Structures are given as structure tokens and as C-alpha cells.
Amino acid sequence: MEIYDKSTAPLIAKKLLEINAIKLSPNKPFSWASGWKSPIYCDNRLSLSYPAVRKLILEKLTKAIQTHFLNIEAVAGVATAGIPQGVLIADKLDLPFVYVRSKPKGHGMENMIEGKITPGQKVVVVEDLVSTGGSSLKAVQDLRNAGFEVLGMVAIFTYGFDVAAQNFAKEKVKLVCLADYASMLPQALEQGYVSPEDMEALNSWRKKPDTWPEKN
């Protein structure tokens, strides 16, 4: 797991904060489907509604792919939030596009992957957000099962969990992200989205998200 460009990661994080794609609430945590409590909620789909931010993300994701995955032959988006980003990238690179469902279509061909499947084709997967990596790596496995050669994955933002790094390493999937939790926190503090008093809670969540907040 790596950040594409550490010099521009703070800018990406700042823009996501400005459009409320990233919301921080250390005192009234959000609840995730997993049951975890979290001081952050990230919805990068909002970036699609802001042309300047959308173009910035497209530019950086495209450059990340061109830098790290030179042999790319197709782009695959992960449903649902990775689909629009993937389409934009595929169009910019003039490449085929497919997307991966979270579960097979319930009727018709019952497809898991939508689009033309070409066995052996070298594909880069596009995500908007990586947390533990579970759903992202499931999409990778579905693509591999269909015959694609997965070169790696790009994403807009990651929380930077150690478990995610371990999961991607185990599956031998290179992950390149534009920004992460560590690059976002200084921007949030500088721009006044959180107070200095909030930083201890925000940092402790990153280290132990499954048990946060610890009960006294």
C-alpha cells in the first residue's frame, strides 16, 4: 500500500474535506455496518458533483496508473462507487471498461462482472475508498476467477489500517492511493474542521479501530 504522490496527498484530502466528502465527528461517532464506531465518514461519490475536484481526482488517478501499471489493457470499477471513477479513467486512457458487482445479478445472465470478459487481459481495479480491503479484494478475486490478470488497484482514499496492508500483501495486490488518513488529519486541524483536543481521539481510532473508543 502506498501513496501516489505525498506532495499532493494533502491537497486531495483538503478538497475532500471542503466538499464534505470526508466528515469528522470524534465526539459523536458514526456507526459502520461492521459494528465499528468511527470518528470519520467518507463518501467520495460527492466529488462527482464538483467538476474541479472530479477533474483533479481523475488526473491523479490516471497518472498513478500510468506510473505504476504500464501494461494496463482494461479498467475495472468496483460497484458502486468505483464505477463512475473507473469509467472516467477508461475514457481518458481510451481503454475497455468492466465493473464488478458485489453479488451476481439476480436475473438474466446472473453476471458478476458486467462488460466484455477477455481472458488474460491485464486490468487495473478502481476503488473510491479502502478500509479493511475486504470488498475490494473480493472484486479482485472475482476478476481473477473470470480470467483477468489483475495488475493492481488505485483508490482515492484509504484509512491506512494495518490489517488492510496485510490483506493486500497476502493477496499480492499492489494498492496505490491518492490520500490517506495520515495526510488528512493535519489538513483537518489546519482548516478548523477539528480542534487540537480532538486529535488524541482521532489518532487512537486509527491505531485500534475495532475497539475504539476504549471504555474506561
Q: Please tell me the predicted confidence (pLDDT) of residue 207.
A: 87
Annotated binding-site residue? 131: yes
pLDDT tens-place string over residues 10-68: 999 999 999 999 999 999 999 988 889 999 999 999 999 999 999 999 999 999 999 99
Annotated binding-site residue? 170: no
Q: Measure the N-to-C terminal CA separation of the chain; round to a whole number of Å.
A: 34
Residue owning grid cell 486512457: 93
Annotated binding-site residue? 135: yes
Annotated binding-site residue? 101: yes
Annotated binding-site residue? 134: yes
pLDDT tens-place string over residues 124-164: 999 999 999 999 999 999 999 999 999 999 999 999 999 99
Mean pLDDT for 165-181 is 97
Annotated binding-site residue? 127: yes
- Please say whether the beta carbons of 140 and 173 come within 8 A: yes
pLDDT tens-place string over residues 99-131: 999 887 665 556 899 999 999 999 999 999 999
- Please say whether the beta carbons of 74 and 114 come within 8 A: no
Q: For the chain, what's the residue count?
A: 216
